[in-house]
Chain A
Amino acid sequence: MPTYRKRPGAYSYGHGIGLLLLDARAPFVPGDVGNASSYDYPVLYKTVPGLTTNACLGGEAGWEDAVVKAARGLEKEGAKGLSSDCGFMIQFQEVVADAVDIPVALSSLLQLPMMARCLDPEATIGILTADDSILTRDMLDRFGLRVPNPIIIRGPQNEPEFNEAIMLAGPQGSPSMTLDSDKIREEVVGTARAMQAEHPEMAAILIECSIMPPYAKAVQEAVDLPCFNFIDVIDYMHAGTRQRAYHGGY
């Protein structure tokens, strides 16, 4: 491919995936969707100004235009696919997919049907979400994620460190401006263990929240089940948009 054309609207090149960010200033630790070192390929971030965690989780109306504008900006920069740093961005999946010509997977929840197909239809799937008072089975159905499997949904929204560091983080940060990843690991693992204690038949866990991939390994070690997280969706989309060459022997 020797001849390259200038892309109108691009300032730099080579970004694999464009990621829309909530306007929330929590520390994004290694493994977080909002941390560039979590990927084996370059990603490009764009914040949706004003779209706070509360606004997104609460399904506040009127954000479509701002989200679409940011998505188009990332497309102009040459991103090969789009995702986001909040599973609840599922609410913008249709409008963004309509607005751009590249593949869009705004939410970790989009892998639910695929997970379901990998399991028995009667196998219970656990969803670890940021806030289980908001995410409901009804919501999943509404967003086109209807599966036959029993679903249980739990979140650490009331655990002290998760609540303080993540749920209360706004555009200016959280009250403490810190995140203790040891404590959050305990809280997230504790939530997963409680799910398993309540539902010993649980067969797999979908980790919805973009803050939680750093703890996915600890969760898996604790419950000994397949666990899928937000990074898995982004890696999957990247794999499809940039195929590898294979150089092995034979």
Chain B
Amino acid sequence: MPKAVETRDLTRAFGDFIAVDHVSLEVDHGEIFGFLGPNGAGKTTMIRMLCGLLKPTSGSGMVNGFDIANQAEEIKRTIGYMSQRFSLYGDLTGEQNLKFYGTVYGLNSRQLRARIDELTDQLDLGVFIDRITGSLPVGWRQRLALAAAIIHRPAIVFLDEPTAGVDPGYRRTFWELLYRLADQGTTLFVTTHYMDEAEFCRRVCIMHQGKPIATGPPHELVDAHGEKNLEATFIKLITQGATGTG
């Protein structure tokens, strides 16, 4: 069985700037994989390539056994994507948004009704599903965006900074939802720069200037570098700009 995500020397350049520089990594099915790094480390570019939104400059990558170079449309059927920006229509209600994305993913109206009810229950959307999403607090919007990203039961969900701008108490709730999702067998590929969140991941990859500088389970990285937590490890690695794997 192919890995959920597998890349070999994946590279993307924008002119002279190399956003993602020879990244090779593997993500197993059903794991929560954390993709960490400071702003500009190439996290969003990486996710966009894996989702078939950007063509790689060189190197290769497979998502769910499909090649990102020429099977982007097949990949899109099996993945969910929650981008850094709020990507629901702010002038539609939550339900209208979910119906729109559900239909685009090919759900018929009966499946859609059942799935929306299920998600309403699972993500606790009840109170705000009928409201215009633009007027909702950020935390609720994120929950709706997650619902839209998983409406078609994708095998992998890519989440790009899903909790940016969300208050800490709410971030915890959101991660509990992600845990539940992973328990059901969904692979989660999450970028974040909150190190406390990264500790929830089974494995993490720390990126610096487009290159992966450490990959492994969070506690192993911490131990290998003799630090007290992931945050300290991360700072040490970034300031050294060192390469190495944990």
The answer to whether A and B belong to the same complex is no
